[in-house]
Amino acid sequence: MDKKTHKDPAKTSAELPSVDLNPPEVQPQKPPAPPAERTIELPEELRKRTVKGPGGVEIEVEPLRDYYCEAPPTVMPAAYSKIVEDLFNWARAESIWILGFGTGCGAIEMRPLMTPRYDAYRYGIQWRPTPRQANLFVISGYLSVKTLKRAIRSYEQMQNPKYVVGLGSCTINGGMYWDSYNTIKRLDEYLPVDLYITGCMPRPEALLAGFMDLKRMIRAGEAEGANKYAEYFDWYKANQKRVIKDWDMPDYSW
């Protein structure tokens, strides 16, 4: 760094007005924002409508009801026999298929795992391009509300058992986006998280270590996020709907 711009750090902080990032309760609170004037409408293609079928038959279509199955998920029991369940858990742990969906900066740190240097394939970890075939959803960093919507749908399309790993401080408490108007701060309020990997950004080694931990959990049968999601479905939905103001999708997408 060049000499002129380099300032004594202590001096800089003295010059700055002190900003209290956590205002105490006594500070006068602003009155709550007036209720939203804008009502959000469903996009055209999802609204209820009548279409003319061949031969002039009129058909009422309500896309969200008719085109999607909205039945909430159910808790799926484990296999009856302990031995079979153990075998399955072992297989699940040794064959982790990650959904290739990167949400934040973290997506960039996942890629090195495929390269010769880290080579996650040797642990049975692979990337799958479709949620139907994936078991592990790595939320790789900050999640804006818009992405959260997609993340929820992708998560719901994955098949039980499925796991969620939160990557980086953004998923844990908002990280450096703690005061952003557009990103969520606690991932586990919206999706059942099995494991967090800390850091901003976590190194690929940290990711690998996290995956090893996840494997241990799966093996021990502790990673039951999908069942947790089914069990507390209403709670999760309420949380999701609180931040996603234009809910224009089915309540549960199979």
Partner 1 sequence: MIELYEQLKQRYALGEISVQRFDLVFITVPRENLASLLLYLRDTEGFTHLVLLTAVDWIEDNKFQLTYLINNRESATDLGLRVIIDRDEASMESIHDLWPTAATYQRELKEMFGIDFPGSPRIDEDFILEGWTEIPPYRRDFDTLEYSRDTYLERPGRSTSDPAQHMKQLFYPEDKD
Partner 2 sequence: MGFEWIKIPYSLLTLFIVVNYGLLLNALIAKIAARVGRRHGIPIWQNYVDMIKNYGLRTSITHGVMFYMGPVFRLSGGVGLLLFVPTIYGSVMFSNLSFAGDLILALYFVFFGTLGMALGAGESGHPYAAIGVSRGLAQVTAAELPFALAVFAVALQYETLSVTEIVAAQQGSYLNWTLFTNPFAVAAAMLSFLGSMMRPPFDVVLAPQEIPIGPPTEYHSSYLALMQTNRAIFPIAKMVVYMNLFFGGAVSWPIFFVKIFLIYMVSVLVGVVFPRFHVEHSVRWFLIWAVPLGVIAVAIV
Pick the piece of the chain touching partner 1 (CB under 8 A) from 32-40, 45-53, 73-81, 154-162: 32-40
Supply the minimum distance, in Å, between the C-beta of residue 214 and partner 2: 14
Which one, 92 or 185, has the nearer CB to partner 2?
92
Non-local (6+) Cβ contacts of 137 within 8 A are 98, 99, 101, 131, 151, 154, 155, 158, 162, 163, 164, 165, 191
**Helix (H) or strand (E) run with residue 231 in it:** helix 225-231
Supply the minimum distance, in Å, between the C-beta of residue 191 and partner 2: 17
- Distance of alpha carbon 32 from the chain centroid: 29
Q: Which does 182 bind (CB under 5 to 8 A by kind): ligand SF4, partner 2, partner 1, none?
A: partner 1
Tell me the C-alpha distance between 118 and 45, whole Å.
Answer: 45
Among 124, 174, 199, 221, binds partner 2 (CB under 8 A): 124
Three-state DSSP at 43 gives: coil
Which one, 162 or 185, has the nearer CB to ligand SF4?
185
Buried b (16+ CB within 10 A) or exposed e, 125-141: bbbeeebeebbbbbbbb
Segment 195-254, which members bind partner 2 (CB under 8 A)?
226, 254
76 token code pair: 């799926």
Supply the minimum distance, in Å, between the C-beta of residue 138 and partner 1: 19
Among 92, 97, 102, 106, binds ligand SF4 (CB under 6 A): 106
Binding of partner 1 by 40 (CB under 8 A) = yes
> Does residue 127 contact residue 140 with C-beta atoms inside 8 Å?
no
Q: Which does 17 bind (CB under 5 to 8 A by kind): partner 1, ligand SF4, partner 2, none?
A: none
